[in-house]
Amino acid sequence: MRITLLGTGSPIPDSRRAGPSTLVTADGVTALIDCGRGVLMRLVAAGTLPPFLNALLITHLHIDHISDLGDVITTRWVMSPGPSPFVIYGPVGTAEVVRLTLASLNADVGYRVAHHADLHQGPAVEVREVAAGDTFTVGSAQVTVGWTDHRPVEPTIAFRFEVGGKSAVLGGDGVPCAGLDELCRGADAYVQTVIREDLVRLVPSARLQDILDYHSTVQQAAQTATTARVGTLVLTHYVPAIQPGQEDEWRALAAAHFAGPIVLGDDLTFVDL
């Protein structure tokens, strides 16, 4: 199993980091988790073309995690050589977001169908809304859904992939909670979005300070990893962005609470399990 951090950025635009998105590949499975800005450029840089995506899994409906939803749907559709239904999993509310996204694409779809003789209809998208405790398969991978705490954003979920004897938990935004502990139990890897509380507090902005109560800090992610006895901790969605040369500083904050391998870095950083 390979986990690739396609986008390690946040809502704050960054010339070096795409928006939140992670790719899981294993045993013929190619799954995209969230689809922040610039995701398709990073997907191609990771060696995967949109038609090869088996599914998109959405952790929650904050715009930074779904801003390129229309691009993913459209590009996968027009690049596929034939009909290729696209399955999207997400929390309650995902179906409505996808419906409205497809509605916004109506003009573009009409233009393409009118111009290309081999296109007879728009993208085929199947939305499956899931909740904590649900399980489903993506190719050969077994996926379990867990509850996460990102209130007042709710529902928010995380996904545990199990395939080829390996397991990885893909967490979204949120603070530590019992649901996340249970989902991560014994996983080979745990991917978590994180913030640096010490650095955020230096910024005199009430709006930025507000993020502190519903995002995991680096230290909290490490504590969750230790509690759940996961193998490798993978950090992403850095707020503020990691500056060149700061990697060891971030890693040390996590290492104070977690003794295993800690992976972080630029877009396209990956870990093989």
Q: Identify the structural domains of the chain with CATH numbers, from first to last.
A: 2-272 (3.60.15.10)
Which has the minimum average pLDDT: 82-91, 156-165, 205-214?
205-214
Neighbour-count burial of 259, counting CB atoms closer than 10 A to its CB (0-12 exposed, 13-18 middle, 19+ buried)? exposed
Single-letter amino acid, residue 76: R
Q: Is the pLDDT of residue 208 over 90?
A: no
CB < 8 Å & 24+ apart, contacts of 157-162: 157/59, 157/60, 157/90, 157/91, 157/130, 157/131, 157/132, 158/59, 158/183, 159/33, 159/57, 159/59, 159/89, 160/184, 160/187, 161/1, 161/24, 161/26, 161/29, 161/31
Q: Is the pLDDT of residue 234 over 90?
A: yes
Q: What are the CA-CA distances from residue 82 to residues 109, 119, 212 (Å)?
A: 15, 9, 46
- pTM of the entire predicted model: 0.96
User: What φ, ψ does residue 184 adopt, rounded to 5°?
Assistant: -80, -10
Region 62-69 average pLDDT = 97
41 pLDDT band, cuts 50/70/90, is very high
Q: Is the pLDDT of residue 211 over 90?
A: no
Rounded CA-CA distance 226/184 in Å is 10
Which pLDDT does position 99 carry in this prediction? 98
207 pLDDT band, cuts 50/70/90, is confident
Which pLDDT does position 65 carry in this prediction? 98
Catalytic-labelled residue, pool 14, 34, 64, 71: 64
Does residue 85 sit in helix, strand or coil? Answer: coil
Quick check: is 34 catalytic? no
- Which of the two residues, 212 and 24, has the higher pLDDT score? 24
Sheet holding 135-138, edge to edge: 135-138, 141-150, 153-163, 166-170, 189-195, 232-239, 262-263
Region 49-62 average pLDDT = 97
- Which of the two residues, 209 and 223, has the higher pLDDT score? 223
The residues that bridge with 122 in the sheet, in sequence order, are none
- Which of the two residues, 82 and 72, has the higher pLDDT score? 72
Which pLDDT does position 64 carry in this prediction? 96
Region 213-239 average pLDDT = 97
